[in-house]
Structure formats: structure tokens, C-alpha cells
Amino acid sequence: MIKFGFQSSKYNNLTLEQELQFSDNNKIDFFDVFFDDYHPDDIKNVALPETFTVHLPGGFAKFPQSEQLKYIDFINRCSPKTVTCHFCDFSLESLEFLCRNINNSKLCIENTPPDWNENCSKNYLDFMKAANEFASQKGLKVYATFDTGHAKVAGHEPVSYLKQLIENEIDIFTVHLHDNDGIQDSHRPAGSVYNGINFAAILEILNSINHDIYAVIEHWNNNYNALEYLTSL
């Protein structure tokens, strides 16, 4: 079942509390806390919804482990459903560290443009295949965040790419829904781009997966319009 959620953003001039209230007013299924503009210490007194997800900061895999542990402590105290981290600077060692230290939340690795990992020179699909094999050998489990806009700007046709990931047993739990012109990662609302991503086909595929999918409406304005568009498909 697809669950739709809004995401915190440093671009909309709202506090996290205001964003949470906006989400609640729109009866959203969950909320995604993106640590792009604040630290776990900044929101320790914020009442988060029962169902939420977390997006770690860009470059998180390069943070010192002492700093990573501050985020991990927040995650283990608050138990988000999923935790998303970008794949571009990930290593198998950082993957193992996070998997062993995050207790109950699913660690989801996200595709990013360009489609290349700076540590192993693999594209996202090959990295995830290697990560799955590595995790299995260690008795661990890793999951995926599929980003529609990132797939498009990296040169993939998003529907075909999503099918390819699933065919290769990449276990998707989180999805980021946004569009662009295929050149810049502009995070345009779903349904707002002429000849844009076929979100109806994306949702149909996701609905065939036999577990909950946390679908984040990931852009910086017109969230309600995108929600209305996506739920009408």
C-alpha cells in the first residue's frame, strides 16, 4: 500500500512545527524529516507524528562516526519507519556501520545524480546488487529509496528503471516523487511538467509491491496540488 507524505524543507520559510501542522491539516499519511537544515539536537522538543521517516543529510557517509552516532541515537529513540541516505558517497563499510547501529528502522539507500559512486565507481543498480550480497554475507539487510526525479536527470526513463530495480530484487520501501526537465534536478511537482514522468505507471508498479511504500512528495512548493494529482491517478 502506498502511503503519501510531505517532507520538511529549508526552502519554504516554515518552521518544522508549521510544516507538521500543514501535513496534519491535509491528513497526510506520514511525514519525512529531512535533516538538510538542522541537527537532531534542534528538534528534540518537537512532537513528531507517530508515523514518520528520516532523510539523512547529503554527504552523511563522510561524517565522522562520532557525528553519525548523534543521528543514529535520534533514530533509535524515535523509531522512524525508514532512514534514507544518498548512495553517491556510500561505501560498504559505512553501510555495515549504519546497519549494525540502527535498531528498528529500515536503512534505505537512494539513487542520486550523477549515477556513480565515488568510492567504488559503480552505478546505483550495480552498487545495490553488491550491497545486497555484502549485507547477506554479514547477516544484515539493506533497502532502497527510489527517487523518480533523480532517475530522470541521471538519464534513465523512470518507469523502466523502477522495473529494472525490482527485477534485480532491489527492495524498495521509500520513494521520492518529483519531476524535472531531464537536465537540472529542479524538484518540480508531480504533474506539473509537460510530457513529464508517467506517475500513474510508477504508482501502479509500487502498488504491486506487497508491503507499505512510503512515498514522499519531495519538492518545495505546491505540495497540496501534487498530493491531489497523485491521489487522483
128-153: pLDDT as tens digits: 999 999 999 999 999 999 999 999 99
pLDDT of 181 higher than 80: yes
> What CATH number has the domain bearing residue 81?
3.20.20.150
CA dist., res. 31 & res. 6, Å (int): 5
Which residues touch 38 (CB under 8 Å, ≥6 apart)?
Answer: 16
* pLDDT classification of 208: cutoffs 50, 70, 90: very high
Provide the number of structural domains found in the chain: 1
pLDDT of 16 higher than 90: yes
Q: What's the domain range around 59? A: 2-232
Q: How many Cα atoms occupy the beta-carbon half-sphere of 167 within 13 Å? A: 6
Higher pLDDT, 50 or 11: 50
